[in-house]
């Protein structure tokens, strides 16, 4: 696969200074712990009109992930914000006013190939900016999912609330889904309750209500998930956080996902069977429109933060 057009802000692990590079020219050390052990944290944000949506929420979640992962320190977050701004500005200057995907990764550091975290240097940051794969106005294709046999990580093993670079659990669940010709997988916990997709949160529509798994089941506190919850309240759509069994997933009216890069996306088939009439449902479409209205209002309020030249 060709390297996408991209700009990287790469922090030096020793000096904490950073440089702006073309993505094809940016490299990390072979002694980096994120490479050997998945010992890193990350966040993904996206732009609207050159404005990074809810970036402060992503930084707040990064702090929570750092606590769960026992990172004793993080890179200076003011400098991290500067890295993001400069990488985005460099991307826009080179490629024009397009929307971007921004991935911020914090590695625990560089050190000997040993799992003992005490033997490495300080955490450092990498910011990757590349094209968003779809324009904000472009509709998303309905998804077809399967319930994966592979279970979600136990909260007491590798807490899914921690957004870490250790993603093999999701990689293998997605591979399983693809082997059945599906787009993605719904993952269950060890008790058989629905948790989330491999890279998204998951919602059920039943009898005019929205159901979604509680954070306590072992899911990521999605930034867009929180926006969907607020959208439901704005639209006076009944919402419940509840445990969802395989039985609950039978004969539902609608299913949809949420994520920062995909907003709300309908799921029209599960395990090879249509959901409802097999078309995006009316409540899903209503929530998708309501979410976009919230995003547009937020962007209007933060119009001065646009990084477009």
Sorting pLDDT into bands at 50, 70 and 90, what band is 137?
low
The mean pLDDT of 205-215, rounded to a whole number, is: 97
Give tens-digit pLDDT for 271-287: 999 999 999 999 999 99
What digits encode the pLDDT tens for the residues 159-191?
A: 999 999 999 999 999 999 999 999 999 999 999
Distance CA(294)–CA(56), nearest Å, equals 16
- Cβ burial of 157 (10 Å; 0-12, 13-18, 19+) is exposed
The percentage of the chain sitting over the pLDDT mark of 70, rounded to a whole number, equals: 98
Q: Where are the domains of the chain?
A: 6-131, 143-296
pLDDT at 2: 83
Q: How far apart are CA 159 and CA 58, in angstroms?
A: 18
In CATH terms, the superfamily for domain 143-296 is: D-amino Acid Aminotransferase, subunit A, domain 2 (3.20.10.10)
Q: What is the pLDDT of residues 1-47, one digit of tens each?
A: 688 999 999 999 999 999 999 999 999 999 999 999 999 999 999 99
> Using 50, 70 and 90 to split pLDDT, how confident is the model at 140?
confident
- For 109-124, what is the mean pLDDT? 93
The pLDDT-based confidence of 133 (bands split at 50, 70, 90) is confident
Q: How far is CA 107 from CA 77, 128, 159, in A?
A: 14, 13, 18
Q: Which of these CATH numbers, 3.40.50.1820, 3.90.1150.10, 3.40.190.10, 3.30.470.10, describes 6-131?
A: 3.30.470.10
pTM over 0.85: yes
């Amino acid at each position: 696969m060709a390297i996408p057009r991209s700009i990287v802000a790469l922090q030096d692990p020793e000096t904490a200074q950073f440089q702006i590079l073309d993505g094809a020219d940016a490299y990390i050390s072979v002694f980096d712990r994120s490479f050997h052990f998945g010992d890193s944290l990350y966040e993904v944000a996206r732009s609207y009109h050159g404005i990074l949506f809810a970036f402060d929420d992503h930084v707040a979640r990064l702090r929570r992930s750092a606590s769960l992962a026992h990172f004793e320190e993080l890179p200076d977050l003011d400098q991290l914000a500067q890295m993001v701004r400069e990488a985005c500005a460099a991307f826009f200057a080179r490629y024009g006013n397009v929307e971007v995907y921004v991935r911020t990764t914090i590695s625990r550091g560089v050190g000997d190939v040993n799992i003992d975290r005490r033997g490495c240097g300080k955490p450092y940051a990498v910011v990757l900016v590349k094209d968003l794969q779809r324009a904000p106005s472009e509709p998303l294709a309905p998804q077809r999912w399967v319930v994966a046999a592979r279970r979600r990580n136990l909260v007491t093993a590798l807490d899914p609330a921690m957004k870490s670079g250790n993603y093999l659990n999701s990689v293998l669940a997605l591979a399983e889904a693809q082997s059945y010709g599906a787009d993605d997988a719904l993952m269950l916990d060890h008790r058989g309750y629905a948790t989330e997709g491999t890279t998204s949160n998951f919602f059920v529509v039943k009898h005019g209500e929205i159901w979604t798994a509680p954070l306590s089941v072992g899911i990521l506190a999605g930034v867009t998930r929180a926006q969907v919850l607020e959208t439901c309240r704005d639209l006076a759509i009944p919402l419940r956080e509840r445990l969802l069994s395989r039985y609950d997933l039978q004969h539902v009216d609608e299913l949809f996902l949420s994520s920062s890069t995909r907003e709300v996306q309908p799921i029209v088939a599960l395990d090879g069977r249509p959901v409802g009439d097999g078309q995006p449902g009316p409540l899903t479409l209503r929530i998708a429109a309501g979410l976009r209205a919230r995003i547009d209002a937020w962007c209007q309020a933060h119009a001065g933060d646009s990084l477009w030249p």
